[in-house]
């Protein structure tokens, strides 16, 4: 976790810039803090290099959810010599909050680019913010930005913790595979755990058990897949075994071949349209097709949709349209669902690498216990305080 080296508040522009690199500290030091006019070219220069010199965060007080963020860094060493002793010791006071706004501390995590705002909610069984406030926080222009907000709540019925999620549209899913990995890493951080540790987590989809390994990877026992159409849920008819496998689905005049699976939340997996051999994921108009699947009348609770390309029997590639979040870089439950679908359609073996836009996951559907296991990363990005 970094130490903020330089914090400067410019009254005329209502911007605070917190810098931790030599480049930014030097640039900020060149601007008089009491100046009534700020040379905006400096800020343009800073904003043009958000990652090359990415050791700053702009604070825009006009946003509904204003942020003061300290960013986690691993590759940059703070250069304290660039700041005067007086400035190092100074206490910075932000401008007064309007209308007695509440503050919410959070930590931002991502699992292969599927990003979440994690909130320590262990002192209450009720989420600290409403779905409407979650929508504001997830806004990437006026909030923190994220695919959802995850709350770490007290455990129930013998579990260690409980998980609640509000999507970026305010809806609440039963569970999230990438989110559960992020939550497990966050809990390990809260507990200061230094060794491999498993957690029993209660979700709306049931009991989920993630294990944080010493190398930082998280292995999650996702439980058995549910193939009962009524429980997925889908109105598509089942085959002779009662499963929806290779079923035709008319979507805006085109017939797609789909397999439906629940991993605690509904998934519709497709390897392409009827009559086509391979799905070209790069040419797929996901932003157009995804919503048509999500809101299709055959899915009364809406659905997540995975579009899959088979690279080999042990290597799959997918793009996903998530219910309530849209196109995302990764979906853990979706990766699990597509492996189940690939096995049922005899396209792949029970253990595969699944490539998502944000990176790979290792998925295994074991025969001995019928459980699906997901292995993948979860990384902390930054922590901060949002004013609501």
**Cβ 63 vs Cβ 142: under 8 Å:** yes
Distance between CA atoms of residues 176 and 237, nearest Å: 26
Q: 3-state DSSP: the chain helix, strand, coil percent, rounded to 5?
A: 20, 35, 45
Return the structure tokens found at 225: 């897949």
Residue 42 falls in the annotated catalytic set: no
Residue 331 falls in the annotated catalytic set: yes
Number of helices (H), then strands (E), in the chain: 7, 22
Beta bridge partners of 7: 18
The contacts of residue 143 (CB under 8 Å, 6+ apart) are 63, 64, 65, 67, 136, 137, 386
Return the structure tokens found at 362: 């290792």
Return the structure tokens found at 181: 């990995």
Return the structure tokens found at 21: 């690199």
Of the candidates 182, 331, 336, 352, the residue annotated as catalytic is 331
Distance between CA atoms of residues 91 and 299, nearest Å: 55
Of the candidates 176, 260, 268, 352, the residue annotated as catalytic is 176
Return the structure tokens found at 153: 């709540």
Q: Which residues are catalytic?
A: 176, 331
């Amino acid at each position: 976790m970094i130490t903020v080296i330089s914090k400067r508040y410019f009254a005329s522009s209502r911007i605070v810039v917190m810098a931790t690199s030599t480049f930014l500290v030097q640039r900020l030091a060149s601007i008089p803090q009491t100046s009534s006019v700020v040379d905006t070219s400096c800020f343009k220069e800073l904003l043009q290099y958000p990652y090359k010199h990415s050791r700053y965060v702009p604070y825009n007080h006009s946003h509904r959810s204003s942020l003061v963020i300290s960013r986690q860094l691993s590759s940059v060493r703070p250069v304290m010599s660039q700041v005067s002793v007086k400035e190092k010791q100074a206490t910075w006071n932000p401008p007064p909050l309007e209308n007695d706004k509440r503050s919410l501390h959070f930590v931002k995590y991502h699992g292969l680019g599927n990003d979440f705002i994690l909130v320590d909610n262990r002192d209450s069984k009720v989420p600290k913010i409403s779905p409407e406030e979650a929508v504001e926080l997830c806004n990437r222009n006026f909030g923190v930005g994220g695919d959802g907000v995850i709350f770490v709540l007290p455990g129930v019925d013998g579990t260690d913790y409980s998980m609640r999620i509000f999507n970026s549209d305010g809806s609440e899913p039963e569970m999230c595979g990438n989110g559960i990995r992020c939550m497990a890493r966050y809990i390990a951080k809260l507990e200061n755990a230094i060794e491999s540790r498993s957690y029993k987590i209660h979700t709306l989809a049931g009991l989920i058990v993630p294990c944080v390994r010493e190398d930082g990877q998280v292995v999650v026992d996702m439980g058995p897949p549910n193939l009962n159409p009524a429980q997925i849920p889908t109105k598509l008819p089942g085959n002779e075994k009662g499963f929806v496998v290779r079923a035709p689905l008319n979507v805006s005049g085109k017939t797609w071949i789909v397999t439906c699976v629940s991993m605690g939340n509904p998934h519709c997996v497709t390897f392409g349209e009827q009559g086509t051999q391979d799905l070209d994921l790069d040419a797929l108009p996901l932003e157009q097709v995804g919503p048509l699947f999500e809101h299709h009348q055959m899915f009364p609770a809406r659905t997540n949709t995975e579009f899959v390309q088979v690279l080999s029997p042990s290597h799959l590639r997918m793009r996903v349209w998530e219910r309530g979040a849209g196109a995302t870089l990764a979906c853990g439950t979706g990766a699990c669902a597509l492996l189940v679908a690939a096995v049922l359609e005899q396209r792949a073996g029970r253990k595969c690498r699944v490539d998502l836009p944000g990176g790979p996951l290792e998925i295994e559907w074991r025969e001995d216990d019928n459980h699906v296991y997901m292995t993948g990363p979860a990384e902390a990005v930054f922590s901060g305080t949002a004013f609501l």
